[in-house]
Chains A and B, each alone.
Chain A
């Protein structure tokens, strides 16, 4: 029987209250959102907080809005809400591609976007998706609100820049014309963590790639991104050869490790193949939504 160790429990009534509680209890407190990573880790004693600060009543953090040319996602938005959001899917197909393969429909009902990001599991899918989309994280703390690029959010496996008395409140994704995006994951069975996964976003002017974002999951990519491959693509025509070469560059720039999900050389092969496939799909989607001549 797996049960968490003894823990105190506080329920936050607002973001400010959550920050006050986090300050009061210090680093031994943990924010409890959906709990679908935290509670299993507590059962295994991988984490043993003294106090849980439950933020599930902060429904003001459950939203998907278009504001000032950005999609804004509240940190307590459940995975299922993101997958059900036509607004998010229309703007960023990559988010729906990724959500469809995150855990299972029941877990998605209660697991949250912000919780997944703050868990910072190297195999977590949305981190790569937000890295590809060049999102911004909004973090509230005792000294006010700060913005951090999605690519500076993670400081290592299970580690983020969110301080002991801070709360991630929102993710912002810039809307740019001429864009398309996609996400693909290879997993051993339904609902499992990835062996490897890749996400891409491209923005076209005519047939030239003006900007590209490539995210890699579980493949040992720095900040979940393949920056060298993005640099290679910028300014080039979106040809099959260029997209395939970008996949190779992404594979060369990441550092997958061998584990029970597969050997490193296979994962590197996945990095190349999945990157070029999601790039092709992203380009195809960008062309499909572009108004005709």
Chain B
């Protein structure tokens, strides 16, 4: 089935099987491997991307469901060679160790900060509660997102 999606502002058209998951479409068909493929059960959040305006777990969405929609992946966070404040925050506050959860964490963080410019630490923790990090104990991820909140323009 023919699918046309706009990923990070660029339109892509591909012929896919209806059963193809969005995460595999992004990674294998489009070569955008910044989106990570983790638990496969919509628990871990490594595969979070934006579908239109909303972060979703792309292991639980079919590529055909995204036909005609806009997708943003971690590759689209930086603009004009300049890192998004969320990315700067993760760098400044050591918000990652192995980096596996980081793309999904950052996309959820950007979504949160677009809706709430100065979230409380509790609000940050609630926002990322559907995403798992096995390295940081979350403390530095929360710090990174709060850093980004205070450096957003």
Contact = CB atoms under 8 A, between A and B. Distances in A.
A35 interface: yes
Chain B interface: which size bin? 20 to 34
A105 B19 contact: no
Query: Which of A1, A43, A80 is most buried by chain B, counting CB atoms within 10 A of its CB?
Result: A43
Contact of A9 (B1, B21, B131): B1
Interface in A1-19: 1-9, 11
20 contacts: A1-B40, A2-B40, A3-B24, A4-B62, A6-B19, A7-B18, A9-B1, A39-B21, A39-B60, A40-B41, A40-B60, A80-B54, A104-B45, A105-B127, A106-B45, A106-B56, A107-B57, A110-B54, A110-B57, A191-B129
Interface residues of A, number: 30
Contact of A52 (B18, B24, B40, B56): B18
A248 interface: no
A36 B42 contact: yes
B129 A54 contact: no
A3 B127 CA distance: 27
B56 A191 contact: no
A282 B24 CA distance: 46
Interface in B33-64: 40-43, 45, 48, 51, 54-57, 60-62, 64
A46 interface: no
A80 B127 CA distance: 12
B130 interface: yes
Given A1-B40, A103-B130, A107-B130, A56 B65 contact: yes
Contact of A5 (B19, B21, B57, B60): B19
A3 B21 contact: yes
Interface string B1-31: 1000000000000000111110010000000
B122 interface: no
A67 interface: no
B1 A105 contact: no
Contacts of B62: 4, 9, 32, 35, 39, 52
A110 B60 CA distance: 10
A109 interface: yes
A106 B19 contact: no
A7 B60 CA distance: 15
A6 B55 CA distance: 26
Contacts of B18: 7-9, 52
B61 A110 contact: yes
A147 B151 CA distance: 53
Given A6-B19, A39-B21, A80-B54, 17 more contacts: A2-B41, A3-B24, A4-B21, A4-B62, A5-B19, A6-B17, A9-B18, A36-B42, A105-B126, A105-B129, A106-B55, A106-B131, A107-B57, A110-B56, A110-B60, A190-B129, A191-B43
B108 interface: yes
A35 B65 contact: yes
Nearest to B24: A3
Nearest to B48: A106
Contacts of A5: 19
Contacts of A109: 54-56
Contacts of A104: 45, 129-131
A107 B43 CA distance: 9
Contacts of B56: 106, 109-110
Interface in A89-120: 103-107, 109-110
Contact of A35 (B17, B20, B43, B61): B61
A5 B20 CA distance: 10
A106 B51 contact: no
A18 to B, nearest CB: 15
